[in-house]
Structure 1
């Protein structure tokens, strides 16, 4: 492999690590991102870090502090509402298109994704909270499978970006709404397989809005 390709691979791996650490709260909202410390932590050069942090800046996951460097983007109730509304707008549109266009392969992906999610939700309902990241990955896979036949790569990319920001708020507030969320996932599955996009989008709206309200009730976000 050419040296340039190796460097790109290492840089991409580091980018994904930092991005994941922001989304899953290991790098906390408002935390200063000191290049020297990050260089040691992620075993990469300061020059590479600057490039990666600029990518994350464009994504809105970090903010610039003028001449002082970077910090993880703070959270707020107002911003949480904005992110949730954008997810609702994008995902409802994609869900309708996907239900109308989906084939038997799409149905298989949706059923398989829900099976994994439901199995982990059963463990959560039993009190096992040791697999938070796996749970949220399965949650993403299910929602992504539902909209995967929407027919628009741009829409899927936009949804993926906003979903990650939405997920960060869920992780910060340690959100799991219990049986209500699991039931809504089952209802989404049933409506999708029946090709009933009206019911599916109505369930999705409830799913997102109730999650926002539940999160705000925890008091984990600053108004």
Structure 2
């Protein structure tokens, strides 16, 4: 005979509302396309066009746009609607200075507190980065996405032992914005092979300094590495 069960015993979590699921899907699609440049800087984001593009309703798309507006990836122009946030030399320099300030703090803390597993994860992430290699053609979207994932993984491994959750959250947002500029560098490089050689050399030196627990050198290499994008793209933006 089945024993009687109280309401507390049979209580199950409420299923996630479909509207929330659709909003999350809209957010992920829009965020990825903005960061990748599939939706160009300054482009007007018309709700009906996005509805057709993603096959989602107007409400979840509007909610996603509001969320991305709060993150600075989308501009909310009030009555004129939404648009992709523009890129500029001034914004790029401000962004890169902010990111170097945050990440050097995180790297110094990670080097101080990282254990052997932290070091092993850096080595593994660097290996994955060398296997992904830098895309020779920016239109090869599969190669670009694989390299970007490996590149993010390497930088995440470097900082993984840092203890500040708040700085990590801030850095994640800075990385998203930085990727928009880095993809432009891939598209407009004068020598893909030279860029690949330079980038891989920079990452190798950064890894070696971190594993050697040389925080001063590692932070200087990281600062130089992050600012290289700003130096290369500086001439492209008039301001």
Same-fold status (TM-score > 0.5):
yes
Q: CA deviation at 1:5?
A: 4.0
- Where does 1:74-153 land on structure 2 (aligned, <5 Å)? 74-121=86-133, 124=135, 127=136, 130=140, 131-153=143-165
Q: CA deviation at 1:10?
A: 3.1
* 2:204 pairs with 1:186: yes
Aligned with residue 80 of structure 2, among 55, 65, 68: 68
Q: CA deviation at 1:128?
A: 5.8
* 2:193 pairs with 1:166: no
Q: CA offsets, 1:106-149, max 9 Å, x none?
A: 1121111111112223x64xx46531121111111100110011
Segments of 5+ residues of structure 2 without an aligned counterpart are: 1-12, 190-194
Q: Secondary structure at the match of 1:185?
A: helix
Q: CA deviation at 1:2?
A: 5.3
Q: CA deviation at 1:67?
A: 0.2
| Closer/same/farther in 2, CA of residues 113 and 5 from structure 1, 3 Å limit | farther
Aligned with residue 31 of structure 1, among 20, 27, 43: 43
Aligned residues: 218
Q: Relative contact order (C-alpha < 8 Å, sep 6+): which is higher?
A: 1
Q: CA deviation at 1:51?
A: 0.9
Higher mean alpha-carbon deviation, 12-21 vs 78-87, is at 12-21
- The structure with the larger Rg is 2
- The question of whether the paired residues in 1 share the 8 Å contact of 2:35 and 2:176 is answered with yes
Q: Distance in 1 between matches of 2:72 and 2:219?
A: 27
Q: Distance in 1 between matches of 2:26 and 2:223?
A: 35
- The question of whether the paired residues in 2 share the 8 Å contact of 1:111 and 1:189 is answered with yes
- The question of whether the paired residues in 2 share the 8 Å contact of 1:39 and 1:45 is answered with yes
* CA RMSD, 1 decimal: 1.8
Segments of 5+ residues of structure 1 without an aligned counterpart are: none
TM-score normalised according to structure 2 size: 0.85
- The question of whether the paired residues in 1 share the 8 Å contact of 2:41 and 2:85 is answered with yes
TM-score normalised according to structure 1 size: 0.91
Displacement over 6 Å in runs of 4+: none
Task: Determine the structure 1 residue equivalent to 2:4.
Answer: none
Task: Determine the structure 1 residue equivalent to 2:3.
Answer: none
Q: Distance in 2 between matches of 1:144 and 1:183?
A: 18
